[in-house]
Amino acid sequence: MERELQTRYWGISNPDDLVRCTICAHEGHMAETCPSRTCKHCQACDEHFSLECPTQRKCKKCRERGHVQKDCPSKLARSVADGFFCDLCGESGHVEEECSLLWRTFFPEDVPNLNKVETLSCCCYQCGSDRHWGDDCP
């Protein structure tokens, strides 16, 4: 099954080609041995990705980690005047949800062996026919 996905998503059909993981899209390993399956914060396996770890959630009220606003033990909410820093850019004066890095940053990975396509066939998303579009599917 994994080899079928390799061919489908990345055009890797030759068994000698370097494999690419269907979880993290990195080369050199397959999904069953993907390091992304284990959370780097709590070491839970196949429960969540590191970015979604419950131990790293940040409370919007007190700005501390490990709980959410509805479970916050603090009576007072912190404000920008309290001097906390944005986790994304490291600057003070705003929270992560308002950080300009969210909207203006793109870090593409260098992929040297892209399979270029000459033409791209268009077809119906319902039945696969090239004679009509999906919203016109009989």
User: Is residue 24 assigned to a domain?
Assistant: yes
User: Is residue 3 assigned to a domain?
Assistant: yes
pLDDT in tens, 69-118: 899 998 888 877 777 788 888 888 888 888 888 776 665 666 667 677 78
Number of domains in the chain: 1
Find tokens 């404000």 and name the residue: 79
Confidence check: pLDDT of 126 > 90: no
Domain that holds residue 17: 1-41
pLDDT in tens, 46-82: 998 888 888 888 888 888 888 888 999 988 888 777 7
User: Is residue 113 assigned to a domain?
Assistant: no
Which tokens hold the place of 4?
């079928």
Query: How confident is the model over 17-43, as a mean pLDDT?
Result: 87
User: Is residue 114 assigned to a domain?
Assistant: no
Which tokens hold the place of 6?
């390799």
Q: Which of 6-10, 11-15, 56-60, 102-106 is predicted with the least confidence, judged by mean pLDDT?
A: 102-106
Q: For the whole model, what pTM was predicted?
A: 0.47
What burial letters (b/e) apply to 110-123, b meaning 16+ CB within 10 Å?
A: eeeeeeeeeeeeee
User: Is residue 101 assigned to a domain?
Assistant: no
Burial of 67 (0-12, 13-18, 19+ CB in 10 A): middle
